[in-house]
Amino acid sequence: MRKENNNFTTPHATDIIDIIREMREDDLTDILETEKRSFISPWTRRMFEETIESPISTNSVIEKNSEILGYIMLYSVEDEAHIMNLAVHPDYRGRGYASKLITHTVSHVVRRNISEFFLEVRESNINAQRLYTKFGFKVIGKRKRYYTETNEDALVMHLSVRK
Active site amino acids: 120, 132
* Contacts of residue 121, Cβ cutoff 8 Å, sequence gap at least 6: 128, 129, 132, 154, 155, 157
Length of the chain: 163
- CB-CB contact of 83 with 120 (8 Å): no
DSSP 75: E
Q: What angle do CA 132, 71, 79 make, to 5 degrees?
A: 60
Name residue 98's amino acid.
Answer: A
